[in-house]
Structure 1
Amino acid sequence: MKLVVVSGSARPQRQSHQVALEVGKRLEEKGHTVHLLDVRELNFPLLEAIFDKTPTPSEKMKETSAAIAQSEGLLLVSPEYNGSYSGALKNTLDYFYKEYSHKPFGIVGVSSGMLGGINAAKSLQQYALALKGIVLPNVLLTPKVQTLFQEGQLIDTAYAGRLDEFLNDFLWLSQAIRAAQG
């Protein structure tokens, strides 16, 4: 399957990006094609008009629209900032709409605290529903992200197990939707 993983933080010292990279790596190991959308790299300007109404969209916007439209599912990885998901993520995702219709969404919340980004994850579930997405009911929470990786490698086996279970659930939903769409 073609899948999109969105890394939702633009901060210089972002730790959620490691989680997004790990999600993408594990999906590729399972034989899927992954397109990583990094809101920091994309660096879209503040939204004035959605992609379809932007008079001269950038090449990055065109590529992002195509990647989302051609994907068979999206995984959103976001840190929790002030009780919600990142503004950079919302700004990036808001450029598009029709591209998301009837696509499965998996939500990964990330936090340096004990709650693992639960508020961001729950808010993102509601947001994905508003985009006409089909949202996996369970989310993956990532507490104390600063303790999970060492030199870019995931070292927490308990989290690795939860991540694999979450990805299996997401892939099951994605395949069921794909089969239903014929």
Structure 2
Amino acid sequence: MNIAIISGSARPARQSHQVAQYAQQQLNKLAVSNWIWDIKESNLPLLTAVFAEQENPDYVLQDLHLKLLATDAFLIVSPEHNASYPGSLKNSMDYFFKEYSGKIFGLVGVSSGVLGGINAIKNLQQYSLKLNGIVCPQFLLTPSVQKTFNDGSLVDPGYAERMDKFLNSFLSLVKGR
């Protein structure tokens, strides 16, 4: 089993990336093969042609294509921007399509407010289905992320329990395929 954790924000002071890193730590403890697709780090340009239609895709796209094909499931960690997920996340993911088809999607919303990214999750559920993905019915909300993490360290033990419960549900679905 190989899980891609998609860290969905490209903003300089992003808080959601520490949630993606924490999810990776938990998957590593469970000995689950995984990798982080950092949207900020990959820095893909505005989409003009999907990967499949490019004559000479650059190395970054070729590498992502191969990694995504070898991935069994996707764990998207996304902040909420303007009642949805970030445009940079959609732009980056839209380069690909068949790479997602028939694979499991787990969704983690992140917010500095009390709703924990629920609007981003609702929109990502629809987007994941449009990609022919299978959406895990359980999702994880991360409200008040600035109080949950401090410089990358988890300070809320209750969140650790919620993350474990979510990952167990997500991994059960992935293993059942």
Q: Does the pair score TM above 0.5?
A: yes
C-alpha distance after superposition, 1:12-65 (max 9, x if no partner): 000000001111111111001111000000000000110011122111111111
Secondary structure in structure 2 of the residue aligned to 1:23: helix
Distance 2:88 2:109 in 1: 15
Cα contact 2:107–2:139 (8 A) shared by 1: yes
Letter aligned with residue 72 of structure 2: E
Which position in structure 1 is the counterpart of 2:84?
A: 84
Gaps of 5+ in 1: 178-182
Structure 2 residue aligned with 1:106: 106
Tell me, in whole angstroms, the C-alpha distance in 2 between the residues paired with 1:82 and 1:59: 32
Normalising by structure 2, we get a TM-score of 0.98
Q: Aligned equivalents of 2:10 and 2:46: distance in 1?
A: 13
Q: Which runs of 4+ in 1 moved over 4 A?
A: none
For structure 2, which runs of at least 5 residues remain unmatched after alignment? none
Which structure shows the higher helix fraction?
1
* Distance in 1 of aligned mates of 2:129 and 2:80: 19
In structure 2, what is the Cα distance between the partners aligned to 1:57 and 1:26? 34
Q: Kindly, what percent of the aligned residue pairs are identical?
A: 50
Superposed CA RMSD in Å reads 0.7
Partner secondary structure for residue 107 of structure 1: strand
Whether the aligned pair in 1 keeps the contact of 2:3 and 2:71 (CA below 8 Å) is yes
1:13-92 equivalences under 5 Å are 13-92=13-92
Q: Alignment length, in residue pairs?
A: 177
Equivalent position SS for 2:99: helix
Q: CA deviation at 1:151?
A: 2.8
Give, in whole Å, the separation in 1 of the partners of 2:93 and 2:3: 15
Using the TM superposition, give the Cα deviation of residue 150 of structure 1 relative to its aligned residue in structure 2, in angstroms: 2.0
Aligned residues of 2:74 and 2:105 also touching (Cα < 8 A): yes
Q: Does 1:140 align with 2:140?
A: yes
- Between the aligned partners of 1:89 and 1:136, the Cα distance in structure 2 is 19
Give the Cα–Cα distance (whole angstroms) in 1 for the partners of residues 101 and 81 of structure 2: 27
2:138–2:170 CA contact under 8 A, matched in 1: no
* Counterpart Cα distance in 1 of 2:63 and 2:29: 24
Equivalence for 1:180: none
Equivalent residues of 2:108, 2:139 under 8 A apart: yes
Alignment of structure 1 residues 116-135 onto 2, 5 Å: 116-135=116-135
